């Protein structure tokens, strides 16, 4: 700073000397005819103007050089980001595959759910009526209120039905989403006991190696798709994993005697649900053959489990999700919410590996002859056949659904948000912490049923929104399954 100041002073000094020399010896004015003020202005102002002009020129040149460097830097950053995105998109862990689903829940309108006839799906949905089942009474009377014993019958039956689909899954770790009122120690102890009972009831009794991290909590910030993917990213040795979520706001409401709340308009009335999903990563690695006894036993168990898991058909691929924090004005401002959802769909399509094709008037005009002349579709942009969302009850969902419809139309995601959509806030009850996995499970089921992509949109109150695509398995995966089955 000091050097720069001295440099500027020297420039002004030499500029003044040069100007005075020119003024006295070059122009040679008769200074006796000028007053002191004019003489001072004549000697001082021109050097200062020259110095100021030079400084402005230098500033402009520096700004232009800086802008050029920043443009190059931005291009480099974009190139690195594009390369990283392409690597992630083509990496095995860019998506995971669902092999089986078991869901037991009390639904507000179970008859509105789609008919299910899939071999690896078990749906047991009943009308939500207070105290209509023994399981409900056991959970309501459990002491403490959220002891695992209250959930034990439902969890036992859910996991047993899942393991019936693939016995080898008994060795896989369980990632758990439990009610907030339960501690990890409660969950681990209760699930460990249930898991042991199920294993001992199998014939033949499987050998389950001791794994201190067998029960693993799953924490996520609303993006359930990334949460399940991160489980395989963090433990690349896993050939698969069981994801279990259970909660019962219905029991809590009955125990506390609480009445209806405004939140029910958005999330639906309190209900209960137990959901289990068997997922496998798209790519596999193995534990090292060398290591501790536990490592070796897990490696052998995982290797055997992988062979059986690969015999199960892939129901759907779960692609990475994307979330966005909604601005405070977004809930009350349809344009702001629409812009946020437009950005979300663009990112979700990129995560699904689809080219972004926003709708324009020229595109619509170009599509008309193509539609009349050919029935083929672009394989790089598969058809999306259903929307799973939690926009809220009929009285409040209008703004969210309208914004979602406009955003989908902008990106050529042709879904009727009324006729080809499932609003879990209307069809299902509020499952509490199990809501996200419930929406993921319904997305996979509908994708497997329609054999079309499904867009899942989850609103996390008015704070954020998440979108991800669930797409049918690739033809290569289907051919591999047929060959292995044969």
- Give the whole-angstrom CA distance, residue 314 versus residue 478: 7
Backbone angles phi, psi at 137, to 5 degrees: -60, -40
Taking alpha carbons only, the member of 188, 292, 168, 293 closest to residue 238 is: 168
The model's pLDDT over 70-97, given as tens digits with 9 standing for 90+, comes to 888 888 888 877 776 666 655 544 789 9
Sorting pLDDT into bands at 50, 70 and 90, what band is 336? confident
The model's pLDDT over 190-214, given as tens digits with 9 standing for 90+, comes to 898 999 999 888 887 777 776 778 8
Asked if 292 and 261 touch (Cβ cutoff 8 Å), the reply is no
Asked if 446 and 115 touch (Cβ cutoff 8 Å), the reply is no
pLDDT at 289: 47
Q: Which residue bears the tokens 């329609």?
A: 450
Q: What percent of the chain has pLDDT over 70?
A: 72
Q: Average the pLDDT over each of 116-130, 410-424, 459-473 and give the range with the smallest value.
A: 116-130
Burial-class residue 124 by CB neighbours within 10 Å (0-12, 13-18, 19+).
middle
* More confident of the two residues 266 and 486: 266
Asked if 270 and 249 touch (Cβ cutoff 8 Å), the reply is yes
Residue 122 has pLDDT above 50, yes or no: yes
Residue 246 has pLDDT above 60, yes or no: yes
b/e code 293-312 from CB counts within 10 Å (16+ = b): eeeebbbebbeebbeebbeb
Domains of the chain, CATH where assigned: 93-318 (3.40.47), 322-362+380-471 (3.40.47)
The model's pLDDT over 370-405, given as tens digits with 9 standing for 90+, comes to 333 333 333 445 578 899 998 887 777 888 888 888
Residue 26 has pLDDT above 60, yes or no: yes
Q: Average pLDDT of the chain?
A: 77
Q: Which residue bears the tokens 């443009």?
A: 71
């Amino acid at each position: 700073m000091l050097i720069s100041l001295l440099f500027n002073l020297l420039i002004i000094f030499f500029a003044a000397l040069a100007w005075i020399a020119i003024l006295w010896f070059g122009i040679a004015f008769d200074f006796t005819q000028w007053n002191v003020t004019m003489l001072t202005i004549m000697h001082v102002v021109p050097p200062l103007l020259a110095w100021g002009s030079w400084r402005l020129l230098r500033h402009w040149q520096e700004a232009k050089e800086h802008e050029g460097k920043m443009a190059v830097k931005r291009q480099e950053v974009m190139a690195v980001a594009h390369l990283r995105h392409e690597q992630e998109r083509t990496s095995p862990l860019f998506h995971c595959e669902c092999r089986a689903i078991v869901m037991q829940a009390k639904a507000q309108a179970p008859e509105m759910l789609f008919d299910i006839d899939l071999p690896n799906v078990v749906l047991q949905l009943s009308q939500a009526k207070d105290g209509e089942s023994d399981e409900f009474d056991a959970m309501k009377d459990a002491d403490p209120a959220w002891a695992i014993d209250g959930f034990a019958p439902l969890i036992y039956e859910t996991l047993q039905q899942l393991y019936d689909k693939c016995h080898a899954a008994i060795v896989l770790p369980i990632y758990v989403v439990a009610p907030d009122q339960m501690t990890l120690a409660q969950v681990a102890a209760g699930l460990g006991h249930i898991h042991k009972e199920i294993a001992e009831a199998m014939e033949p009794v499987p050998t389950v190696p001791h794994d201190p991290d067998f029960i693993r909590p799953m924490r996520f910030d609303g993006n359930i798709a990334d949460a399940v993917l991160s489980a395989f990213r963090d433990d690349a040795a896993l050939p698969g994993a069981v994801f279990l979520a259970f909660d019962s706001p219905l029991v809590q409401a009955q125990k506390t005697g609480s009445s209806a709340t405004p939140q029910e308009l958005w999330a639906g009335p309190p209900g209960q649900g137990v959901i289990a999903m068997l997922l496998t990563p798209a790519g596999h690695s193995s534990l090292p053959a060398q290591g501790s006894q536990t490592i070796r036993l897990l490696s052998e168990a995982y290797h055997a489990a992988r062979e059986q898991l690969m015999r199960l058909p892939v129901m759907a691929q779960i692609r990475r999700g994307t979330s966005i924090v909604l601005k405070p004005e977004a809930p009350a401002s349809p344009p702001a919410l629409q812009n946020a959802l437009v950005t979300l769909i663009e990112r979700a399509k990129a995560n699904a590996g689809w080219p972004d094709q926003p709708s324009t008037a020229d595109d619509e005009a170009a599509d008309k002859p193509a539609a009349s002349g050919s029935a083929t579709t672009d394989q790089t942009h598969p058809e999306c056949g259903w929307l799973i969302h939690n926009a809220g009850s009929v009285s409040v969902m209008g703004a969210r659904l309208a914004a979602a419809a406009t955003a989908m139309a902008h990106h050529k995601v042709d879904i009727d948000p009324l006729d080809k959509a499932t609003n879990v806030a209307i069809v299902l009850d509020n499952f509490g912490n199990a809501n996200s996995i419930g929406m993921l499970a319904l997305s996979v089921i509908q994708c497997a049923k329609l054999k079309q992509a499904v867009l899942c949109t989850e609103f996390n109150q008015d704070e954020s929104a998440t979108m991800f695509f669930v797409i049918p398995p690739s033809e290569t995966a289907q051919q591999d399954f047929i060959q292995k089955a044969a």
